[in-house]
Amino acid sequence: MFVRGGPSHRLGAVLVPMSLALAWTACSDGEAAAPAADAGRDVAQPPEDASVDAEGSPDSSAPWTCATDDDPDGSKRHLECTGLYADAASKVVAPDVRAYRPALEFWSDGAAKQRWIHLPPGTTIDASDVDEWVFPAGTKLWKEFSLEGRRVETRLYEKTAAGWRHAVYRWNAAETSAERLETGEKLPPTGARSTTYEIPDATQCKTCHDGRKEPVLGFDAVGLGLPGAEGVTLGSLAKEGRLNAAPATTDLVVPDDLGDGTGPSALGFLHANCGGCHNDNAAAVASYTKPKLLLHASELLGEDGGAAPTSYKGLRAYATTVCKAANRTDPDGGAPYALVQPGAPTASLVAILAGQRVAEGKEPSSGVQMPPIVTRAVDGAGHAKLTSWISALAAIQPTCP
């Protein structure tokens, strides 16, 4: 039987790059939104026989083995069979798995997150297109979500010879096992968490992740190259020879016209929370809308090897939003909103949608909120960064053309 034991291996908010390095072996403009150890089990258990605990999460106490744990798509039914752990009972991460934290993080209704990546030994990431990395077969990326200090879910993206596959694993109440969950789940409010947290279903994950050439968000030149990235970074990948084409510099900087940090913070907020959908890739669900909110490494490094922009105005995220009319009218004044109106956050549709959520009992919608799915709580800190920047923009853009 799988029994929890030993200390919990959690990095928390601060990663430990030195020890991890030794282990390396391996928002809308208003338009409608179109093998780890087997943990001691020695008898196979069909997935449909799994019981649930008092909270409705998988119990997985019946015996089974990782050798018989495959789902029809090849994914493992249980997280402890995916290769994340060397010792699943004590949550000791495998030596060929490294932790990382991107500089820009997607808001997940207050959940704390940890991330890990496994790159097969001897392989490199194809970074010849600095904006769209291509990962080698065998790459695995995990992201763990915790609420009030308890693990809730862990997501896995894995690249096989046939392409990418994805799985969401729901932790049981005792945090002794996590079993695959396909349908998604809404968690009731508990303790300090006043809003309902949602575990997305497989389709909802695709909504955001399919907006890039490969469905990896955060583990890219921007996420790993900007200040604040921890664990695996753009610099460490280049130094270790894990990129086939490392950029000339691995320390990226977002322009700061105002010199107060509001611009990089706000543009980073929009990049992480909206850029996966609002970009030029045809597969992105909001590619047809006006705002293009993804920060491109090629922009920050300088297009085609040229000089990097020294002003916001050299970035798509600025050029496609500031002083640009939205396809929505202010119900009070009758005039179209601007996507970003310098000096006026309350007249800027990007800020309005980022700062509100649908009423309790209703399903999230792009007509009311951004991001338009799963989230039911406003990122107060992120929204404050956005509104502060919009207010301060009037100093460099007092009037719109």
Closest CA to 51 of 177, 188, 150, 202: 177
Phi and psi angles of residue 230, each rounded to the nearest 5 degrees, phi first: -130, 160
In the block, which residue shows the tokens 């998604």? Answer: 184
pLDDT of residue 360: 86
Where residue 169 falls among pLDDT bands split at 50, 70, 90? very high
Rounded to whole angstroms, the Cα distance separating 144 from 215 reads 17
| Per-residue CA distances from 71 to 48, 182, 265, 361 (Å) | 11, 12, 41, 34
In the block, which residue shows the tokens 């402890």? Answer: 80
State yes or no: pLDDT of 38 exceeds 90: no
Taking residues 239-252, what's their average pLDDT? 95
State yes or no: pLDDT of 218 exceeds 60: yes
State yes or no: pLDDT of 195 exceeds 90: no
Of the CA atoms within 13 Å of residue 228, those in its CB half-sphere come to 14
State yes or no: pLDDT of 221 exceeds 70: yes
Q: Is 245 inside a domain boundary?
A: no
Query: What would the pLDDT profile of 332-353 be if each residue is shown by its tens digit?
Result: 777 789 999 999 999 999 999 9
Tell me, yes or no, whether 147 and 267 share the same domain.
no
Asked if residue 135 lies in contact with residue 159, where contact means CB atoms within 8 angstroms, the answer is: yes
Tell me, yes or no, whether 45 and 170 share the same domain.
yes
- Peptide bond connecting 28 to the previous residue in cis, omega within 30 degrees of 0: yes
Taking residues 163-173, what's their average pLDDT? 96
Tell me, yes or no, whether 186 and 332 share the same domain.
no
> What residues have CB less than 8 Å from 360, skipping those under 6 apart?
none
Q: Is 158 inside a domain boundary?
A: yes
Overall number of domains in the chain: 2
State yes or no: pLDDT of 7 exceeds 90: no
Asked if residue 31 lies in contact with residue 375, where contact means CB atoms within 8 angstroms, the answer is: no
Q: Is 347 inside a domain boundary?
A: yes
Rounded to whole angstroms, the Cα distance separating 383 from 388 reads 8
Tell me, yes or no, whether 89 and 152 share the same domain.
yes
pLDDT of residue 32: 37
Asked if residue 198 lies in contact with residue 371, where contact means CB atoms within 8 angstroms, the answer is: no
Tell me, yes or no, whether 173 and 63 share the same domain.
yes
Tell me, yes or no, whether 59 and 147 share the same domain.
yes
Tell me, yes or no, whether 198 and 305 share the same domain.
no
Among residues 189, 206, 239, the one where a domain terminates is 239
Tell me, yes or no, whether 189 and 293 share the same domain.
no
Where residue 20 falls among pLDDT bands split at 50, 70, 90? very low
Tell me, yes or no, whether 45 and 176 share the same domain.
yes
Tell me, yes or no, whether 220 and 362 share the same domain.
no
Tell me, yes or no, whether 209 and 273 share the same domain.
no
State yes or no: pLDDT of 24 exceeds 50: no
Amino acid, single-letter form, for residue 74: G
Q: Is 278 inside a domain boundary?
A: yes
Can you say whether residue 304 is alpha, beta or left, with left for phi > 0 and alpha for psi between -120 and 50 degrees?
A: left
26-30, 89-93, 155-159, 374-378 — which is least confidently predicted? Answer: 26-30
Query: What would the pLDDT profile of 260-311 be if each residue is shown by its tens digit?
Result: 999 999 999 999 999 999 999 999 999 999 999 999 999 999 876 667 889 9
Where residue 62 falls among pLDDT bands split at 50, 70, 90? low
Taking residues 45-50, what's their average pLDDT? 37
State yes or no: pLDDT of 13 exceeds 80: no
Domain that holds residue 64: 17-26+35-239
> Quick one: CA dihedral 321, 325, 327, 329, positive or negative?
positive
pLDDT of residue 240: 98
The pTM score is 0.84
Taking residues 368-379, what's their average pLDDT? 94
Tell me, yes or no, whether 312 and 232 share the same domain.
no
Average of per-residue pLDDT values in the chain: 85
Which has more confidence, 204 or 92? Answer: 92
Rounded to whole angstroms, the Cα distance separating 361 from 192 reads 20
pLDDT of residue 216: 97
Which has more confidence, 195 or 304? Answer: 195
